[in-house]
Amino acid sequence: MRLSRYFLPILKEAPKEAEIVSHRLMLRAGMMKQQSAGIYAWLPLGFKVLQKVEQIVREEQDRSGAIELMMPTIQSADLWRESGRYDAYGKEMLRITDRHEREMLYGPTNEEMITDIFRSNVRSYRDLPLNLYHIQWKFRDEIRPRFGVMRGREFLMKDAYSFDVDRAGAERAYRKMFVAYLRTFERLGLKAIPMRADTGPIGGDLSHEFIILASTGESAVFCDRELLETPVPGADVDFDGDLAPIVESFTSRYAATEEMHDEAAFAALPEDRRVSARGIEVGHIFYFGTKYSEPMGAKVTGPDGQEKPVHMGSYGVGVSRLLGALIEASHDDAGIVWPDSVAPFGAGIVSLRPGDGAVDAACQSAYEQLAAAGVDPLYDDTDARPGAKFATVDLIGLPWQLIVGPKGLAEGTVELKRRATGEKQAVSLESAIARITAKA
Amino acid sequence: MRLSRYFLPILKEAPKEAEIVSHRLMLRAGMMKQQSAGIYAWLPLGFKVLQKVEQIVREEQDRSGAIELMMPTIQSADLWRESGRYDAYGKEMLRITDRHEREMLYGPTNEEMITDIFRSNVRSYRDLPLNLYHIQWKFRDEIRPRFGVMRGREFLMKDAYSFDVDRAGAERAYRKMFVAYLRTFERLGLKAIPMRADTGPIGGDLSHEFIILASTGESAVFCDRELLETPVPGADVDFDGDLAPIVESFTSRYAATEEMHDEAAFAALPEDRRVSARGIEVGHIFYFGTKYSEPMGAKVTGPDGQEKPVHMGSYGVGVSRLLGALIEASHDDAGIVWPDSVAPFGAGIVSLRPGDGAVDAACQSAYEQLAAAGVDPLYDDTDARPGAKFATVDLIGLPWQLIVGPKGLAEGTVELKRRATGEKQAVSLESAIARITAKA
């Protein structure tokens, strides 16, 4: 993409209402614009990252055997009356009355609707296990939306729902999602630690939050240092095999959010293994048994011919929230530092003198070679001053910068800068491209 | 995908409420399920097609130079008061009051919001031309939703908005979208005819509907037969070049919907060129000048230093509606006949005897080879009867069927069926795969 044809409205000043660094940087980098309290338009740069995050989430759901569908945003209140949550949900639910005076709502989550889809179509244990997910906009009418995408009202969430004939099956489904989440966050360049979560009135021990560590995180977390080194399974992990040892390699070590923290258990760790840090919740997995299937009549016939309510779990990833979390975890004074896997463009080409024949030719050649290699470069061909161009390409956090000016070209070089380290090298155009494409 | 692990709830009977063939077939083929009047959940098979259609729409928007972003579904009523449409829009607008008693609405379209984004960020003619689009769920509270996705309430639409310094620029933007639409519908396997549309109170001649021909279409259309043969530009069309001759090759020939029909002009055509048929509207492009930019203060400074309201156009494609239109245009008594470009799976592998070693091995080999070639096969490995399997694979309309049974294998053959023609051949597994992958 040529910057002269793109829509990248960089702000010089961070708007005052932005209290945290990810919110400030997303606004300054022209990634989004607030349209109402807690409701954002995703501008082109932000939307590109959102799509990349979404695609990684999708690929790891698919790899684990979950099947994608798409539920609508607007739901019938009647469905929520069946589960008893219509009255219980409170003011966070955006309630709507349509032209025929029917009570509707903007879905804050989808347990009821997916249970309805299940009960309408599945009758037998032979159709199980089943895990259905979608990646769809949700709305929660937060009383005080803030922190940009970290606590917005309209947000993009991946929510998966598993259906099994019994608790043992549901535990297998739970472990699959546990491993899928480990892989998802690792691919996003994040260090995510699963932490035992409060299961509320339902009880049981099958609920984990996935917390990423970031110095500016929203809450205090405590964990065993060994968790930071525990290996995440590769792409060849067998989701039909026994995943319990992988899950246990995480759950057997101490990790807790502030609410679940056990000071005594933590103190029992050797001192050099006690990590106390800040974290951001980016995922939550939960086994809730027959909480919805029972009142809503979602039953299957078991091998014994008996009808039984199906055992369910739900598994959420805050897709739009992840963009805030990624920036909290990876930024510096100059701006965002995107992990390669989700960078909106793989490299920035900065022309220091548009109109200069040699510079234009070198930039164009770099542009074509990088595009052909699938790097998707952003080419700053505008007539802005070099200082402004450097500030912009640092701010938007592209992994590589390829800086092309007449002086360097006269000596046969361009400047290649790695955003994450700040390392700069004067190298030939060919070797710059070779380095970028080797890493891409 | 193995059917035994998929979620494909086929219905034997079409529900009574389905009045048109696309609605019946989408329900029977397990593509979607109604959740409320005019609101559908897209089941996995339907969602796959929806994603493919969406991706083709996206690629052709990008090719034409339009830039993707994502606006939220929930909008502030205040924005619509600025344009005067909040009161004018009527009951089709889903109006919402949030917990702080603020008036909101579920966007039926996005002229106001995109104008707001523009005015907040663009000041100069040097930043133009600009065309911004998104593919997002919309809601229109139809008084009588019907015909499935053809007239739903919650629907997926691509809407693009162009911004130019003057009318001449806006006309160039209009022609780009005109050509992008021709290419989009051709890639979808549809014959779309641009027809002059009523521009309402704004007047002018810059409005076209894109109508696809289908014998079960919603309205009568009339056109010159030569339009059916007018070539659509290839992928190498130069969007920066002069597109007027391409546009004129379509607009210079007679084509009109019933509302715009001019019997005398039609009668002036040679009789063998008069086509009177049924059509379905799938796209609409529209130049509306300063209708929104003027009241909303979206101005740019021109080369002369004067501030002027920007000239705008809007360009819609009904993405979810297209699935209905595709089926209306391509089906037979046995079910859907998907064009290759949007088929949910490229081929179906039908095992006539799961458990038979030779059959399982041949199916597995075909599955792996087709997957490796990017065909994305659906492998019916279930224990359903052969008749039921044939009916299902016909119903869901996959372009190729590869039928594997013990008798054929004993003779070294499988059966290859092309869904569109019904043509069947007994061939070796290798040549069946070669034919499928050659076409894929």
Note the pLDDT tens digit of each residue in A224-260. 999 999 999 999 999 999 999 999 999 999 999 998 9
Q: Is the peptide bond before A129 cis (omega within 30 degrees of 0)?
A: yes
Residues 6+ apart with CB under 8 A from A244: A175
Reported ipTM = 0.96
For range A87-115, the mean pLDDT: 97
DSSP per-residue codes, B281-316: EEEEEEEEETTTHHHHT-EEE-TTS-EEEPEEEEEE
Torsional sign, CA B261, B264, B267, B270: negative
Cβ-based contacts of A43 with chain B (< 8 Å): 69, 117
Q: Is there a contact between A262 and A187 (Cβ–Cβ < 8 Å)?
A: no
Q: Which tokens belong to B401? A: 């069927």
What are the CA-CA distances from residue A161 to residues A62, A79, A126, A316, B341 (Å)? 13, 17, 18, 9, 30
CATH class belonging to A345-439: alpha beta
Q: Are the Cβ atoms of B71 and A35 closer than 8 angstroms?
A: yes
For chain B, the residue count is 440
* Spatial distance between the Cα atoms of B113 and B134, rounded to a whole number of angstroms: 12
Q: Are the Cβ atoms of B74 and A116 closer than 8 angstroms?
A: no
- C-beta neighbour count of A416 within 10 angstroms: 22
* Spatial distance between the Cα atoms of B181 and B61, rounded to a whole number of angstroms: 8
* Spatial distance between the Cα atoms of A148 and A155, rounded to a whole number of angstroms: 10
Q: How far is A426 from chain B (nearest CA, A)?
A: 33
Cβ-based contacts of A61 with chain B (< 8 Å): none
Nearest to B96 by CA among A35, A96, A75: A96
The per-residue pLDDT for A204 is 61
- Determine the residue among B47, B74, B101, B162 to mutate to test chain A binding: the one whose Cβ has the most chain A Cβ atoms within 10 Å: B74
The per-residue pLDDT for A117 is 98
Q: Is there a contact between A222 and A213 (Cβ–Cβ < 8 Å)?
A: no
Q: Are the Cβ atoms of A99 and B72 closer than 8 angstroms?
A: no
Cβ-based contacts of A92 with chain B (< 8 Å): 99
Instruction: Give yes or no on whether A21-335 and A345-439 have one common fold.
Output: no
- C-beta neighbour count of A230 within 10 angstroms: 15
Q: Are the Cβ atoms of A47 and B33 closer than 8 angstroms?
A: no
Residues 6+ apart with CB under 8 A from A278: A213, A214, A215, A216, A217, A218, A219, A220, A221
Residue of A nearest to B103 (CA): A36
Per DSSP bridges, beta strands B335-336 and B219-224 are unpaired
For range A343-356, the mean pLDDT: 98
Q: How far is A242 from chain B (nearest CA, A)?
A: 18
**At A247, which helix (H) or strand (E)?**
helix A244-251
pLDDT band with cut points at 50, 70 and 90 for residue A205: low
Helix (H, G, I), strand (E, B) or coil at B412: coil
The per-residue pLDDT for B38 is 97
Per DSSP bridges, beta strands B347-351 and B400-404 are parallel
The per-residue pLDDT for B201 is 62
Cβ-based contacts of A144 with chain B (< 8 Å): none
Q: How far is B223 from chain A (nearest CA, A)?
A: 37
**pLDDT of A40 over the 60 cut:** yes
Segments in B33-92 forming alpha helices (H): 44-63, 77-83, 85-88
Q: Are the Cβ atoms of B33 and A73 closer than 8 angstroms?
A: no
Nearest to B67 by CA among A24, A2, A58: A2
* Spatial distance between the Cα atoms of A24 and A404, rounded to a whole number of angstroms: 30
Mean pLDDT, rounded, of chain A: 96
The per-residue pLDDT for B198 is 77
* Spatial distance between the Cα atoms of A230 and A186, rounded to a whole number of angstroms: 12
* Spatial distance between the Cα atoms of A133 and A153, rounded to a whole number of angstroms: 21
Q: Are the Cβ atoms of A71 and B35 closer than 8 angstroms?
A: yes
Q: Are the Cβ atoms of A70 and B76 closer than 8 angstroms?
A: no
**pLDDT of A49 over the 70 cut:** yes
* Spatial distance between the Cα atoms of A198 and A214, rounded to a whole number of angstroms: 22
| Domain ranges (residues) in chain A | 21-335, 345-439
- C-beta neighbour count of B361 within 10 angstroms: 12
Q: Are the Cβ atoms of A33 and B120 closer than 8 angstroms?
A: yes
Q: What pairs with residue B188 in β-bridges?
A: none
The per-residue pLDDT for A202 is 58
The per-residue pLDDT for B269 is 96
* Spatial distance between the Cα atoms of A395 and A380, rounded to a whole number of angstroms: 14
- Determine the residue among A32, A36, A172, A378 to mutate to test chain B binding: the one whose Cβ has the most chain B Cβ atoms within 10 Å: A36
For range A67-77, the mean pLDDT: 98
Q: Are the Cβ atoms of A72 and B99 closer than 8 angstroms?
A: no
Amino acid present at A358: A
Q: Are the Cβ atoms of A70 and B91 closer than 8 angstroms?
A: no
Q: Helices A357-372 and A429-439, interaxial angle, to 10°?
A: 30
Residues 6+ apart with CB under 8 A from B13: B28
**pLDDT of A201 over the 70 cut:** no
The per-residue pLDDT for A59 is 98
Superfamily grouping for domain A21-335: Bira Bifunctional Protein; Domain 2 (3.30.930.10)
**pLDDT of A215 over the 70 cut:** yes
Nearest to B192 by CA among B200, B207, B180, B202: B180
Q: Give me the tens of pLDDT residue by residue for chain B, a chain 440 residues long.
A: 999 999 999 998 888 889 899 999 999 999 999 999 999 999 999 999 999 999 999 999 999 999 999 999 999 999 999 999 999 999 999 999 999 999 999 999 999 999 999 999 999 999 999 999 999 999 999 999 989 999 999 999 999 999 999 999 999 999 999 999 999 999 999 999 999 887 766 556 699 999 999 888 888 999 999 999 999 999 999 999 999 999 999 999 999 999 899 999 999 999 999 999 999 999 999 999 999 999 999 999 999 999 999 999 999 999 999 999 999 999 999 999 999 999 999 999 999 999 999 999 999 999 999 999 999 999 999 999 999 999 999 999 999 999 999 999 999 999 999 999 999 999 999 999 999 999 54
Phi, psi for A125 (deg, rounded to 5): -60, -20
Q: How far is A332 from chain B (nearest CA, A)?
A: 25
Q: Which residue's structure tokens are 């937060």?
A: A142
Ranking A28-37, A381-390, B409-418, B431-440 by mean pLDDT, the lowest is B431-440
Q: What pairs with residue A33 in β-bridges?
A: A41
Q: Are the Cβ atoms of A73 and B35 closer than 8 angstroms?
A: no
Q: Which tokens belong to B309? A: 């309201």
The per-residue pLDDT for B197 is 83
For range A186-191, the mean pLDDT: 96
Q: How far is A290 from chain B (nearest CA, A)?
A: 21
Q: Which of B9, B73, B104 sits opposite A137 (nearest CB)?
A: B73
What are the CA-CA distances from residue A427 to residues A307, A347, B46 (Å)? 70, 16, 51
Residues 6+ apart with CB under 8 A from A200: none
Residues 6+ apart with CB under 8 A from B114: B71, B132, B161
**pLDDT of A203 over the 60 cut:** no
pLDDT band with cut points at 50, 70 and 90 for residue A207: very high
Cβ-based contacts of A36 with chain B (< 8 Å): 74-76, 102, 104
- Determine the residue among A96, A102, A133 to mutate to test chain B binding: the one whose Cβ has the most chain B Cβ atoms within 10 Å: A96
